[in-house]
Chains A and B, each alone.
Chain A
Amino acid sequence: MAAASLSTRSAMLLSALARSGSLCSPSGSRALHVTAVCCKNHAARVRVGKGDKPVTYEQAHPPHYIGHRKGWLSLHTSNLKGEDGAAERTIEDVFIRRFMFGTFHGCLANEVVIKRRGNMLTVCALMLQKLPPLKFYFLIGYSETLLSHFYKCPVKLEIQTLQDKAVYKYL
C-alpha cells in the first residue's frame, strides 16, 4: 500500500514537473527522473528492529532458507511431480491451523506441523503451559474427534508443552 501511494505521488510529481519544464524552457531543462518504487520482499520475514523483539527459529529465517536451514511445516505428497490433490491438502491445512489457533487460544508456542501418512493426519504442536493439564487433555480429545469427523480419517494430535517460547534471537 505504501508502495502504491509512493508511486502515484511520484507519477503526479513527474507530470507536474514535466508541465512546469515545458512552460519555462523547452530545451536544456533538467527534469526529475523517477522510477516505480523497488518493491522490497516482505514475505514471511521479521524486520530488524531495536533488539527487544523475541523471535523463534521459524520466524527468524526468511522463506529462501526452506530446505536449507528450515524444514517444511506441512508434509504431504501432493506437491511432488506427477501427484495431485495439492489444493485440497492446502485448504485442509489452512483450516487445521486456524482451528488449532482458536481451540488452544494463546497457548501455541510455535507453528503447527501437519504430517500425512497414508490415511492418517498427524498434527504436531508446541504449547505453553497456560492451562491445567486436565483442560489440555479435554481440548486434545475434542480436537481429535472433531477433526476426524470432518476429514473422515484418523487424526492424531502430538502435543508438547513448554514453560516459555523457545527464543532463537532478539530482533
Chain B
Amino acid sequence: MAAPMALKRELFSLGRVLRRVSNLGPRALGACSPHIQCYKIRSLLPLASSTSFHTSTVLPSTPSTITVTEEPDTLFQRVKVLVKGHDRAVLDSYEIFATMAANELGVTQNKVYEPPKVMERLTLLKSIHIFKNHRVQYEMRTHYRCIELFNLTGCTAQVYLEYIQRNLPEGVAMEVTKIAMEKVPDHIKEPMWEEQPVEDKPSQ
C-alpha cells in the first residue's frame, strides 16, 4: 500500500500545482501548460529515477463573475455541515481544512464535534452449501464529523460551501443543514385584540 499512498500524495501535490497553473491565466498559457506541469512534476517526485508519470490535462473552468444586487442578503443563524466517511484520519484532515477556511473567510464562531461512529454488522454463512456452524462476520464503520458555523451571511455561506464541496475527498459524503433568519412579517407584529376593538361589538 506504500506505493499507492505515495501516488495519492503526488496526486494531491499535482492537484495543487494544476490549480496554481490554472490561476495564472489558463487562456494565455494554454499552449505551454503541459510542459509546465511536466517540469513541476519531475521536481516534486522524490522517487527512483526510472519512473514516469502521465496525467491528462485538467480543463480550467470559466471564472465566476461577481454580481451586485439591491435585495438584502439572507442571514443564516446556523449552518451545519455533517461529513461522513469510512476513514477517521481523512475526516480529521478535512476538519482542519474546513475550520481553516472558515477562519480565513471571517467566520469566527464555529463548533466542531464528533458524533459517535455507527457500525453496521453482517453475519453470513462462510460456505456456499451447508456448514451452518461456520460463519463470517463483516462490519461497515461510518465515522461522523460535525462542523457548525454561526451567524453568517448568504454570500459567505455560498462561497464557503462551494469551496468545501469542491475539495471533498473521495469516499466522504456531506450533508448540509442551513437555518436562516427571517424578518418577522408586519401583520403579526402587534396582537390583533389591541388594534381593532370595534369588531367585538357586533358579535355581542
Segment from B22-30, B80-88, B150-158 that makes contact with A: B80-88
Give the A-binding residues of B (Cβ under 8 A): 1-5, 7, 10-11, 48, 50-56, 84-87, 118, 120, 126-127, 129, 131, 133-134, 136, 140-142, 168-173
- How far apart sit A109 and B2, CA to CA, in the bound complex (Å)? 13
- Of A124, A126, A158, most B-chain CB atoms within 10 Å: A158
Q: Which residue of B lies closest to A163 (CB)?
A: B50
Once the chains bind, are A57 and B2 in contact (CB under 8 Å)?
A: yes
CA A28 – CA B120 in complex, angstroms?
A: 51
Query: Could you tell me how many residues of chain A have their Cβ less than 8 Å away from some Cβ of chain B?
Result: 48
A1-13 interface code vs B (CB 8 A; 1 in, 0 out): 0011000000000
* Given A80-B173, A116-B170, A126-B4; A72-B54 close (CB under 8 Å): no
CB pair A71–B173 under 8 Å, yes or no, is: no
Q: How far is the CA of A136 from the CA of B129 in the complex (A)?
A: 45
User: Which residue of chain B is the closest to A114 with respect to CB atoms?
Assistant: B170
Asked if A80 meets B2 with Cβ closer than 8 Å, knowing A36-B131, A67-B141, the reply is no
Known: A144-B56, A157-B56, A162-B51. A124 touches B134 (CB 8 A): no
> Is there contact, CB below 8 Å, between B1 and A58?
yes
Nearest opposing residue in chain A for B175, CB measure: A82
* Contact indicator B172/A71 (Cβ below 8 Å): no
| Shortest beta-carbon distance from A86 to chain B in Å | 10
Whole-angstrom distance from the CB of B72 to the nearest CB of chain A?
A: 32
Binding site for B on A (CB under 8 A): 3-4, 36, 38-39, 43, 57-58, 61, 67, 69-72, 75-77, 79-83, 109-110, 113, 115-118, 122, 124, 126, 129, 133, 136-137, 140, 144, 156-163, 166, 168
Contact A166 B3 (CB under 8 A): yes
- A122 — which chain B residues lie within 8 A by C-beta? 170
In the bound complex, do residue B3 and residue A113 qualify as a contact, i.e. CB atoms below 8 Å apart? no
A161 — which chain B residues lie within 8 A by C-beta? Answer: 51-52
Given A58-B1, A83-B173, A159-B54, list of 10 further CB < 8 A pairs? Answer: A4-B129, A39-B134, A57-B1, A71-B4, A75-B171, A77-B171, A80-B86, A116-B171, A137-B54, A163-B50
